[in-house]
Amino acid sequence: MLIRKAFILGLLGLASILPRALSASESEPPKLTLLEASERALAHYPSLALARAHRQMAAAELGEAEARSRPTATMGASAERYEEEMLVSPIHGFTPDLIPDFDRTLLRGSLTVGYDLYAGGVRKADRESKAALLAASGAEIEQEERSLVATTVTLYLRILEVQELLSAHQGRMQALAAEQDRVERLLEVGRAARVDQLRIAAALAAAEAERATLAAFLDSAERNLARWTGLAPEDTRAAHLVPIRLASDIDPDRPSLEEQALATNPSLLEAKEKLAAAESALRAASGGNRPRVGIAGNYLGFGAARGDPIGEWNVGAALRWSLWDGGQTKERVARAEAVRDAAFETLRLSRKRVLAELDRTLVDRIEAQARSRSLATAAMGFEEVARIEALRLEAGSGVQADFLDAEAVLLRTRSQYTSAQHAVIRTRVELARITGLLDPGWLARSLETKP
């Protein structure tokens, strides 16, 4: 009997809890994880589509260059009407049976098949140049993908950061409101001065102004992420985002980072491929001074308004050598040399920029880690100071100005601590971008949801 009664009571309790749990789950907004936001940005933002279009252009140019190495076939036809009768076909002899017919309407047809046996190395160099440009366009896509992911992380963290600041500010405003109530009660019984009331009112007004500023910053950050990912602003609100942290915080040594960056950084790879393309283009331009050898075969058809058409064929080889073109080849070579030199300096500049970015990011990371550790300790200390000052005021032995200062310092310290934590994540992401490792898969492995 007791067991049955307990069972019935348990069912009733479960029935009362279940509707509330279901309603809570239904009211909870859908979450937008950082990984989903990054994938949305990669699918939506035009810069990546532009880079992919560049790759399609480069692939088509390579296909065109490869097609120049294949035989060609050309067909032609014509019909002409003359004032006087003309020979229908060429004369191959002067005996009566070899003299062709005459007619005023002549029909011509031709099929020509040709192939260049040797083109001075121009075709090979052109293919190599276009292949290098295709590889450079692939590196451009990788660079754009990593930049998009890095920017998405920055925008995502910015929303979380401002939201945390706003939440901390709301807590400060609640503490100030409680202090205002205390002052009002003491003022009614003559135990508080008018200046205390004015001071707390001014502090609340200033806090409200700061809250409005933070709310505006938050709305702007949410809309920036919405534009970046192609989502509606309602889907990128702070309530939809998931707080994150690093899954591990292992710092690789600088030499290995530098070696990896120089080997796999997409901007460096793009610059290297463009230099290779420029060198091949220079060889192609220099080939204009070399002879060319080609073979061709023709099938010619002749006809007229009267009589049957006839056809004949011929094959042959030809040597072409440009002895003088007015200096065109010389200028093409000079231009190709300038392009090659520019590509070489671009590679050197890209290398210096990558190493400078790596140095700056490593310094920022060390600073962010140190600040995060120090500010965590400081925040706990100032939180205790603010609590004690509030208790002292409640007991009547504290000073209101000290309490307000403690609350302001606590809020500022919490704000700096949040910024430092996110700076640690951003610098880790930036290192992954510089070394060419950053992609949605890296985010899934290196970041996790903050409990």
Backbone phi and psi for residue 312, each to the nearest 5 degrees, phi listed first:
-150, 160
Q: What percent of the chain has pLDDT over 70?
A: 92
Q: Report residue 265 as tokens.
A: 């950084």
Each residue of 216-271: pLDDT tens digit?
A: 999 999 999 999 999 999 999 999 999 999 988 777 788 999 999 999 999 999 99
Which DSSP string corresponds to 239-284? Answer: GGB--EEES------HHHHHHHHHHH-HHHHHHHHHHHHHHHHHHH
Q: Is residue 91 in some structural domain?
A: no
Specify the pTM: 0.80
- The whole-number average pLDDT for the span 75-83 is 94
Q: Is residue 85 in some structural domain?
A: no
pLDDT of res. 97 = 79
Kindly indicate the confidence band of residue 275, based on its pLDDT and cuts at 50, 70 and 90: very high
Spatial contact of 32 and 242, defined as CB atoms under 8 Å apart = yes
In whole angstroms, what is the distance from residue 253 CA to residue 360 CA? 15
Kindly indicate the confidence band of residue 5, based on its pLDDT and cuts at 50, 70 and 90: very low
pLDDT higher than 70, residue 14 = no
Spatial contact of 180 and 201, defined as CB atoms under 8 Å apart = yes
Each residue of 21-30: pLDDT tens digit?
A: 444 444 556 8
Q: Is residue 370 in some structural domain?
A: yes
Each residue of 87-106: pLDDT tens digit?
A: 888 888 888 778 888 999 99
Which DSSP string corresponds to 201-218? Answer: HHHHHHHHHHHHHHHHHH
Instruction: Tell me the HSE value of 112 on the side-chain side, using a 13 A CA sphere.
Output: 13
Residue range of the domain that includes 380: 31-70+107-307+334-449
Backbone phi and psi for residue 301, each to the nearest 5 degrees, phi listed first:
-120, 140
The chain-wide mean pLDDT, for the chain, equals 87
Q: Is residue 230 in some structural domain?
A: yes
Amino acid, res. 204 = L
* Residues facing residue 293 across a β-bridge: 118, 319
pLDDT of res. 179 = 74
In whole angstroms, what is the distance from residue 210 CA to residue 114 CA? 79
Each residue of 290-332: pLDDT tens digit?
A: 899 999 999 999 999 887 889 999 999 999 988 888 889 899 9
Q: Is residue 209 in some structural domain?
A: yes
Q: Is residue 326 in some structural domain?
A: no
Amino acid, res. 416 = Q
Spatial contact of 270 and 136, defined as CB atoms under 8 Å apart = yes
Q: Which residues contact 16 (CB under 8 A, 6 or more apart)?
A: none
pLDDT higher than 70, residue 7 = no
Q: Is residue 17 in some structural domain?
A: no
Query: CATH code at 194?
Result: 1.20.1600.10
In whole angstroms, what is the distance from residue 450 CA to residue 244 CA? 5
pLDDT higher than 90, residue 427 = yes
Q: Report residue 121 as tokens.
A: 């190395």
Spatial contact of 208 and 166, defined as CB atoms under 8 Å apart = no
Q: How many residues does the chain have?
A: 451
Q: Is residue 23 in some structural domain?
A: no
Least confident of 8-12, 251-255, 362-366: 8-12
Q: What percent of the chain has pLDDT over 90?
A: 58
Looking at the structure of the chain, the number of domains it has is 1
Each residue of 171-230: pLDDT tens digit?
A: 778 877 877 887 788 777 777 778 878 888 888 888 888 889 989 999 999 999 999 999
441 CB burial (10 A radius; 0-12, 13-18, 19+): exposed
Kindly indicate the confidence band of residue 169, based on its pLDDT and cuts at 50, 70 and 90: confident
